[in-house]
Structure 1
Amino acid sequence: MSATETALRSAAEEQRPVVATVPGRVRGVHDDDVYVFRGIPYAAPPVGALRFRGPRPPEPWDGIRDATSFGRIAPQPIQVFPGAQPRQMSEDCLTVNVYTPELGAADLPVMVWIHGGAYYVGSSADPLYDGSRLARRGVVVVTFNYRIGPLGYLDLSSFSTADDVFESNVGQRDQLAALAWVRENIREFGGSPDRVTLFGESSGAGAVTTMLATPSAEGLLHGAIAQSSPVGSVYSPETARIAAERFLGRLDITQDAVHRLRLLPAGSLIEACSRLIVDTSALEPGTIPVAPVVDGDLVPEYPLTAMARGGALHVPLVIGSNRNEAMLFRLLRSPIVPNSSKAVQLMVERLGTPEALALPSEYRGYPRLHPALSLATDAAFRMPTVWAASAHSKYAPTWAYEFDFAPPLMKAARLGAMHGAELPHVFGAPVPRVLSLGARASGRRLTDRMQSRWVSFAEVGDPNPIRMSPVWPRYDTQSRLTYVFDTKDRVVSDPQGDLRRAWGDGIIAFR
């Protein structure tokens, strides 16, 4: 590189925005009216003796740290998607990314995103989660990585000794550390630490609803949005212990030699966990071995129980599900949600109660595939969402929604509004042309409406922007008014009320 090129590069770097965080200064980029900072450590690398332990504060650094590239993602099974570039994985993955329209004392609302992926895949580097488009609407968007799979959501705490501690809910502890980082640093990025909305989808939404039942999260979030949350997929210590024992068996490690888990390569743990997930889904459809656990410490009780008794955080909540959630799992042949008539029937039999065994008769055409998939959707997402909305609405402002929008091609393929279908509209991400044929204009309008409502909620704790109709009413157990996102939005009282009544007030017990 010539002296002139070196000088020009140095001058360009000097023009990039620099922000002072508590551990040290970071330099990002200014991209089309949005300031972007990527890969900022919010905790120390959880490696060596810190594997399976809660996060520790990041080490301070001197000088200016480059924050123009995403950090490495959490170890996970390799996901191969057409055109996608594989990202480097590492246990040293605890980083945040910030997208903001202003720097300094702007006091903007903050939206903190928890990515999904069934608690064992996914990262904040997914292009779908680019926060730039939301940030241009006047909010600071924060995304982050956290430990997943066996390193974050396999509970080994029952094997702890005085000399060798394994902590519970490590992934949730990472998320708390990220929220603490936001509280301590977000003012420098233009955000207000007193207006933080936590939002997520799928297992990310499950982490959100679990956070509502986490007392130590008090004061770190002031609103929550849960998109397709598996609210009920939080397990007992006994269930978690069984999963951990099976995991050790996969690795031929005895219970008195659990310390060996700190010495194995992360890849060996990921491989064993992947096999465990497949085995568990076959033996116990509807459950996965990596998920939050009621540990009596960080999570003292089941989120639905905490909500029902008024013990959850009393913050405003937007919560909803998609009409055809289970179709994605059928399409991908993913075992995470039962997606065949046989698997759904096994799930029902596992529930075992007379009420559960009577449920299939409420789904017309069962055991044909599509009625069975509707039952799976309700078991995994819709009914837990209804129960959560019903409970939380008695103590804090709550808004419920159902996402029903599907372009003609998706309808023709009988996929409908499947799991994750709302994500491009929340983030304003481009939808492949072939998937949006016949609905490009209506899809863009839906994106504008969803983003407007999400941003309004972040700004004032109410998803009703001025002059937007129809008005989205609060949810209560009398009218059960639910907002339906579709080509033309509408408000419906108690959608699929007959099925809701058939399910009752909580007969799922995968604990």
Structure 2
Amino acid sequence: MTEATCHVHTPYGDVIGHRDGTVVAWKGIPYAASTGGEHRFKAPRPVEPWSEPKDCVKFGPVAPQGLDNPVPMDPDTPMSEDCLSVNVWAPEPDGTPRPVMVWIHGGAYSLGSSAQTVYDGRHLAELGDLVIVTVNYRIGAFGFLDLSSFSTEQTEFDANVGLRDMIAALRWVQESIGAFGGDASNVTLFGESSGGASVTTLMTSPATEGLFHRAIVQSAPATSVYGQDRAAQVAARFLEIVDVTPDRIDELKTIDMHRLVAASDTLCYDVPARVPGTLGLAPVVDGEIVPRYPVAAFQKGFAHRIPLIIGTNHDEASIFRLMKSPLMPVTSDTVSEMFRAIANDHSDLPAFRVAEIMSAYPDRSKTAGALAMSRDAGFKMPSLWIADAHSRHSPVWMYRFDHATPMLRAARIGAGHATEIPYVFGNFGTLNRDPTFWLGGRKAAMAVSARVMKRWVAFARHGVPATLDGAKHWPKYAEPTRATLVIDGQDTVVDDPDGDLRVAWGDRVLGFS
């Protein structure tokens, strides 16, 4: 080992890490084999061991996806179906086992990469003296299109291969993280948006028993998991888009990757445009990896009994209005259409229940009311349903992230979806011409970030988001008080915030399962 590098021996071969501040970073470590050709739409396969040390100085390839999207990507990072890799940041291994945090990125199951600068794990690893792992997994049609209804004797397809990738990465952590100084018996799985919903889904999967021991869920659309009939309809639509008939299904293994990416992008936006409030590509209840609808599984006590932090942002839907994205309904018309679809799909749902919920938003005909309804349907209520159910047998801490810089408030984004991520990782200024601090607010944001990072780290280390010196104590969440940490310039604890809306919605997983 030289002063700038660190060699580590894993079960699959040696990897060379490089000094990054006071920690070492290993980027682009493969945890499974290539997913191209014959292995498209199939469960991940073990990676082939390598004999020569692998220099892990660069991120692995980005999972196939369209590049015309709002996610900032390094143009020098290639795109490939050989994309199943992890990145590790850790203090130089010294024989001391350290807690491990494994990050699942978001992006509506169709966008994003562990190589995004905002997910750089250096600051968390340095602050917490722990090991950070970020995971690349298949997204879009490559990861969340369920073609199993079109399987033949010659061509078989697996469901939920994106989730299967995450499980393979968690197994890699169990096998390999000790070499990086990580404690495989103390793993916290955390994620945001579809990454957060992946965490809640994996918490209900028998396949992940014992693979992680705590969970942090940020802004999860946890009810965006669908049944097999709906999955078959989406798959049929995909075949129409890519112009492949069911009798030629095996051609999917040889079609150019970029043609599939284009079809995936079309499907990703086509489905929510047709049925507001739904995602085109998402996990499926397959009876194996996902045996039940996750929120219902929580309510029936089937989730892994581990400590959980879960929460949402105050203004989740604002960013979708700004981007004019169909991924969330953000107008009065599309929100009303979402509720009509819910009523039509559930004949056992009394019309007065839908009316009660809608009446809880007196300004629903205005933008602010529509955004609030969309936020609550997509993020707030699923998180509350999970917190209520899980707190009946396991420790839960609920938060609401309210902090916004003056510029984000002026832009009417506020504490929008994903705006908490820089505070969690301590990484600001990762967007091109980042406007976050154009009107000031950096000092206050840094103070908020320091508290968030310390709470997340304490939870990963001890299973409790320990009280900080001079900071507000964060009590456990439990019925009926439902204590919630409101994260802002000064943190506060509020019992059952927006309780009137919670009561209006009730505890039924309305329309999403």
Common topology (TM > 0.5): yes
Letter in 2 for 1:220: L
**Cα deviation digits, residues 350-389 of structure 1 (max 9, x gap):** 1114212432221132211111011000000000000010
Please say if residues 483 and 490 of structure 1, whose CA atoms lie closer than 8 Å, have aligned partners that are also in contact. Answer: yes
Please say if residues 105 and 187 of structure 1, whose CA atoms lie closer than 8 Å, have aligned partners that are also in contact. Answer: no
Structure-2 change in CA distance of 1:274 and 1:228 (3 Å): same
Q: Structure 1: where are the runs of 5+ without partners?
A: 1-11
Q: Cα offset for 1:162?
A: 3.1
> Could you tell me which of 310, 319, 331 is aligned with 1:340?
331
> Could you tell me which of 250, 256, 273 is aligned with 2:264?
273
> Could you tell me which of 51, 68, 89 is aligned with 2:57?
68
Query: Match of 1:17, SS?
Result: strand
Match of 2:113 in 1: 123
Alignment of 1:390-409 (within 5 A): 390-409=388-407
> How many Å separate the matches in 2 of 1:215 and 1:104?
34
Q: Cα offset for 1:13?
A: 6.6
Match of 2:346 in 1: none
TM normalised by structure 1 equals 0.95
> How many Å separate the matches in 2 of 1:490 and 1:464?
15
TM normalised by structure 2 equals 0.95
Structure-2 change in CA distance of 1:454 and 1:79 (3 Å): farther
Match of 2:384 in 1: 386
Query: Match of 2:393, SS?
Result: coil
Match of 1:198 in 2: 189
Match of 1:284 in 2: 275
Match of 1:45 in 2: 34
Q: Cα offset for 1:466?
A: 5.2
Query: Match of 1:62, SS?
Result: coil
Deviates more, 1:415-424 or 1:95-104: 95-104
Letter in 1 for 2:482: R
Match of 1:472 in 2: 474
Letter in 1 for 2:105: H
Deviates more, 1:416-425 or 1:13-22: 13-22
Query: Match of 2:288, SS?
Result: coil
> How many Å separate the matches in 2 of 1:36 and 1:457?
23
Q: Cα offset for 1:158?
A: 1.5
Query: Match of 1:435, SS?
Result: coil
Q: RMSD between aligned alpha carbons?
A: 1.6
Alignment of 1:356-367 (within 5 A): 356-367=354-365
Structure-2 change in CA distance of 1:420 and 1:15 (3 Å): closer
Match of 2:93 in 1: 103
Letter in 1 for 2:14: R
> Could you tell me which of 481, 484, 487 is aligned with 1:485?
487
Number of equivalences: 500
**Cα deviation digits, residues 32-67 of structure 1 (max 9, x gap):** 211000001000111221111111111011121111
> How many Å separate the matches in 2 of 1:490 and 1:433?
29
Q: Cα offset for 1:81?
A: 6.1
Alignment of 1:138-153 (within 5 A): 138-153=129-144
> Could you tell me which of 317, 333, 341 is aligned with 1:326?
317
Alignment of 1:173-212 (within 5 A): 173-212=164-203
Q: Structure 2: where are the runs of 5+ without partners?
A: 344-348
Structure-2 change in CA distance of 1:51 and 1:434 (3 Å): closer
Query: Match of 2:176, SS?
Result: helix
Match of 1:91 in 2: 81
Letter in 1 for 2:340: E
Deviates more, 1:436-445 or 1:448-457: 436-445
Does residue 1:243 correspond to 2:234, yes or no?
yes
> How many Å separate the matches in 2 of 1:156 and 1:506?
30
> How many Å separate the matches in 2 of 1:15 and 1:362?
59
Match of 2:246 in 1: 255
Structure-2 change in CA distance of 1:53 and 1:482 (3 Å): same
Letter in 2 for 1:250: I
Query: Match of 2:271, SS?
Result: helix
Please say if residues 28 and 37 of structure 1, whose CA atoms lie closer than 8 Å, have aligned partners that are also in contact. Answer: yes
> Could you tell me which of 34, 41, 56 is aligned with 2:23?
34
Structure-2 change in CA distance of 1:358 and 1:463 (3 Å): same
Match of 1:500 in 2: 502
Deviates more, 1:354-363 or 1:81-90: 81-90
Please say if residues 423 and 453 of structure 2, whose CA atoms lie closer than 8 Å, have aligned partners that are also in contact. Answer: yes
Structure-2 change in CA distance of 1:400 and 1:187 (3 Å): same
Query: Match of 2:471, SS?
Result: coil
Deviates more, 1:41-50 or 1:358-367: 358-367
> How many Å separate the matches in 1 of 2:220 and 2:441?
27
> How many Å separate the matches in 1 of 2:72 and 2:489?
30
Structure-2 change in CA distance of 1:84 and 1:164 (3 Å): closer
> How many Å separate the matches in 2 of 1:499 and 1:274?
35
> How many Å separate the matches in 1 of 2:73 and 2:384?
36
Q: Cα offset for 1:425?
A: 0.3
Does residue 1:172 correspond to 2:163, yes or no?
yes
Deviates more, 1:352-361 or 1:399-408: 352-361
List 4+ stretches of structure 1 deviating above 6 A: none
Please say if residues 104 and 188 of structure 1, whose CA atoms lie closer than 8 Å, have aligned partners that are also in contact. Answer: no
> How many Å separate the matches in 2 of 1:387 and 1:258?
40
Match of 2:303 in 1: 312
Letter in 2 for 1:367: S
Deviates more, 1:422-431 or 1:437-446: 437-446
